[in-house]
Structure 1
Amino acid sequence: MRSLELVRIEAGLHDWAAITCGCSWGPNRYSSEHIPLELIRRLEGNPEDLGTDWVDNHARIQSNLMDPAVATASLALAALAGRPPVGVRKDLLYILGVLSAGEQDDVAEACLDVARQGVWLYYEELAAFEMVGASAEAYELLSLMDEQAERLAAYHRVYRDRLPSDLR
């Protein structure tokens, strides 16, 4: 699977051992090395079952972004670029969205900067309409990018009937 190769390369660009994971509580500090390992394990297994719990309580706790958020966003984008199955894409788009809209504005903006690198992947997801949830997540992510407002409005005019009612 292309996603695995891209994720492995991207994972190697970050010093995960030096990044404290959100699952570290109190005096016990754990590195975030397990985050890319867990994503790779899931992509190697049944990729339809990716889910989001490999990010929850690690890169984010509820809406609070943790230290590995930006590096995790880059992993999600790398996995998405490998064009995994649509259910996996939906989960990856969701992850990019929640990391880009978290409580800590500076970290959320850094995550959004990572997400901006995949802007055409999101438009393609919106246009392909393989799964309502994936198209909706792509639309929601694009709506976070002020510089995409005009283009997104044009796409909205064409594809609004494919979106859930709350996004029409």
Structure 2
Amino acid sequence: MQSNLMRPAVATASMVMAALAAGAPHAHRHQLMWVLHALVHGEQDDIAEECLDVVRGGSWILYEEICSGRSIEAASYAYEMLELFPEEDARLKSVQRVARENLSYDLR
């Protein structure tokens, strides 16, 4: 995936969040989290910010991914996206303490 975002990136972020909320199969969740991670870290700040707003609206999905223990990679992508929300700092630190074994070593 390119880091040079285009307008459809926001719609893509919405569709990925919807798929995750609907309970996407475990085999696909890691890749869906990777796509979201790439979209919110894209080079076009305005589009990346819009993607981030989409993700912010479903932050519970990211917390669920961290706590589920399904995939360390998916949980780590979710954690790194939540780090972009200053308002989630205290909650994220609490979740990190409880679910640290579900995260990659550098995020524990």
TM beyond 0.5: yes
Match among 4, 17, 26 for residue 86 of structure 1: 26
Residue identity opposite 2:90 in structure 1: E
Match among 73, 76, 79 for residue 133 of structure 1: 73
Residue identity opposite 1:83 in structure 2: G
Residue identity opposite 1:109 in structure 2: E
Is 1:155 the equivalent of 2:95?
Answer: yes
List gaps (5 residues or longer) in structure 2: none
CA contact (8 A) 1:122 1:138 kept: yes
CA contact (8 A) 2:67 2:102 kept: no
For residues 87 and 94 of structure 1, the distance between their equivalents in structure 2, rounded to whole angstroms, comes to 13
For residues 86 and 5 of structure 2, the distance between their equivalents in structure 1, rounded to whole angstroms, comes to 21
1:165 equivalent in structure 2? 105
Is 1:116 the equivalent of 2:56?
Answer: yes
For residues 121 and 159 of structure 1, the distance between their equivalents in structure 2, rounded to whole angstroms, comes to 15
Match among 30, 35, 43 for residue 103 of structure 1: 43
**Bigger RCO (CA 8 Å, 6+ sep):** 2
CA contact (8 A) 1:86 1:134 kept: no
C-alpha deviation, 1:87, in angstroms: 2.5
Percent identity of equivalent pairs = 49
For residues 161 and 126 of structure 1, the distance between their equivalents in structure 2, rounded to whole angstroms, comes to 10
Q: Describe the SS at the equivalent of 1:144.
A: coil
Name the count of aligned residue pairs. 108
State the structure with more CA Rg. Answer: 1
Moved over 4 A (4+): none
So what's the TM-score if we normalise by structure 1?
0.61
1:68 equivalent in structure 2? 8
For residues 86 and 4 of structure 2, the distance between their equivalents in structure 1, rounded to whole angstroms, comes to 22
List gaps (5 residues or longer) in structure 1: 1-55
Residue identity opposite 1:105 in structure 2: D
C-alpha deviation, 1:90, in angstroms: 1.4
C-alpha deviation, 1:108, in angstroms: 0.6
More helix by share: 2
So what's the TM-score if we normalise by structure 2?
0.91
